[in-house]
Amino acid sequence: MQKNNRVLLGMSGGVDSSVAAYLLKQQGYEVIGVTMQIWQNAEENENSDGGCCSLSAVEDARRVANSLDIPFYVMNFKEIFKEKVIDYFIDEYLNGRTPNPCIACNKHIKFEAFLKKAHELGCYYVATGHYAKIEFDETIKRYLLKKSVTEEKDQTYALYNMNQLQLKHTLMPLGYYNKDEIRRIAEKLDLPVAAKPDSQEICFVPDNNYGDFIKANSRRKISEGNFVDKEGNYLGKHKGIIYYTVGQRKGLGIALGKPVFVTDILVDSNQVVLGDKNDVLGRELLADEVNFIPFAGLEDRKKVLVKIRYNAKAEAATIYAENQNIVRIVFDKPLRAITPGQSVVFYNKDTVIGGGVIVKQIK
C-alpha cells in the first residue's frame, strides 16, 4: 500500500540530491535514498570515480544518508540502463545522429522504471535533484512543468518527456532555489559533499571520449571515410562518422584554409559533408516522438519559444502539427546547427509546452 508521504529519492552522491533529501525531510516526507547501479561490470565500477552512479558516488550518497538519518539502498538498474540509454546512445551515433543520453535516462529510467519500483515499495512519490518546478493548474486540471527560478541552472530541457502520471508522482524541491543557496544549505548542514563539484560528463563515459567509447562497444566496425563538399567532391579523410556531429567546427582534423562545418553525415556512403557557416543555418525542422504536457495534442499552429539544445537560447518559432507524433517548426530567424537526434523543447514563458527529437532540418 502506498503511503502518500513516502518518497523514493534518487541520490547521485552530489550536492543537489543530497540537499533535496534534507528539504523533503523538512517538509514532512518519509525519505528513502537510493543510488541506481548502472555500471556494467566490476572493472568499470572500480575504476570510475567521477560519474553520478560510480562507486565513489555510492559512498558519498551513503554518508549523506547517514548524516540525515534516512534509509539508503543501492538498486540494480544496469540491464534497462544498457538497453535504453547506452545501446540507444551507440546506435544513434552509428546512424549519424547526435543523441542526448540524459534525456533518455530521465524518460526510461528515472521517471519510468524508478517510479515503478517506488510504487512497488509503497512510495507515492519519486524525487530528484533537478532544478525544475512541478505545479498543478486548477483551471485546466493538469500538472505543469515549469522552469527553475534561476535560468542558468534550469533543467526542464531534459524533462519534457514527462507525462501526467509521472508529474503527479514526482517531487523536485530544488526548483525554488538557486545553486548558491543549495551550496549554503549543504555547508550549514556540514554535509560531506558540500564542496563537491558538479559532474560535467556523460556518466557512463568517464573520460568524456564518447567516440572511443562507441568504437569499443559497437557491434559494427568503425571505418575511416571521406570528407566531401555538398557537391560530393573529395576533401580529405575522416576517422569515422561517430566522431562528428552536425554543426561541428572544431576537432575535424582537416585544414582547408577557411572555417568549415559539418553540414551532414551520410551513413550509407560513410561520408561527412563539410560546408561554410551559411550551410549550417536553417529556419525549419521536423521533429518526432513528440510529447505535450499542458494538453494531449496540438490541434492548430502555436507560437512558442524553442530550444534546440540544452544550453541554447530559446528562440521564437511557430509549431505546426504534421500528425499526432510529428511537428514542423518554423523559426522567426535562421538558427545555426539544427542537429538530428538532439531534442527540441517548446516553452510558453516559464512553462514547458512539450518537445520532441529532431529528425532533420528542412532545407
The reply to whether 356 sits in an annotated binding site is no
The reply to whether 354 sits in an annotated binding site is no
Catalytic site includes residue 123: no
**Sign of the CA dihedral 166, 167, 172, 173?**
negative
The reply to whether 56 sits in an annotated binding site is no
Grid cell digits, residue 179: 545553486
The reply to whether 1 sits in an annotated binding site is no
**DSSP line for 276-310:** -GGGGEEEEEEEEEEEESSSSS--S-EEEEEESST
Catalytic site includes residue 203: yes
The reply to whether 343 sits in an annotated binding site is no
Task: Kindly name the residue from 53, 102, 105, 123 that is annotated as catalytic.
Answer: 105
Q: Which residues have a Cβ under 8 Å from the Cβ of 311 and sit 6 or more positions away?
A: none
Q: Calculate the CA 122 to chain-centre distance.
A: 28
CA distances, 73 to each of 8, 61, 299 (Å) = 10, 9, 45
The reply to whether 12 sits in an annotated binding site is yes
The torsion angle over the Cα atoms of residues 262, 263, 267 and 271, rounded to 10 degrees, is -60
- Rg of the chain's alpha carbons, rounded to an integer? 22
How many helices (H) and strands (E) are present in the chain, helices listed first?
Answer: 10, 17
Task: Kindly name the residue from 52, 53, 123, 203 that is annotated as catalytic.
Answer: 203
Q: Which residues have a Cβ under 8 Å from the Cβ of 231 and sit 6 or more positions away?
A: none
The reply to whether 36 sits in an annotated binding site is yes
Max distance between CA atoms of the chain, in angstroms, equals 68
Closest listed residue to residue 354, CA positions, set 319, 323, 310: 319
The reply to whether 15 sits in an annotated binding site is yes
Residue type, 201: E
The reply to whether 129 sits in an annotated binding site is yes
Q: Provide the CB-side half-sphere exposure for 111 (13 A, CA).
A: 24
Closest listed residue to residue 279, CA positions, set 249, 257, 310: 249
The reply to whether 162 sits in an annotated binding site is no
**Sign of the CA dihedral 182, 186, 192, 195?**
positive
Catalytic residue positions, numbered: 105, 203
Q: Which residues are annotated as a binding site?
A: 10-17, 36, 129
Q: Which residues are annotated as a binding site for ATP?
A: 10-17, 36, 129
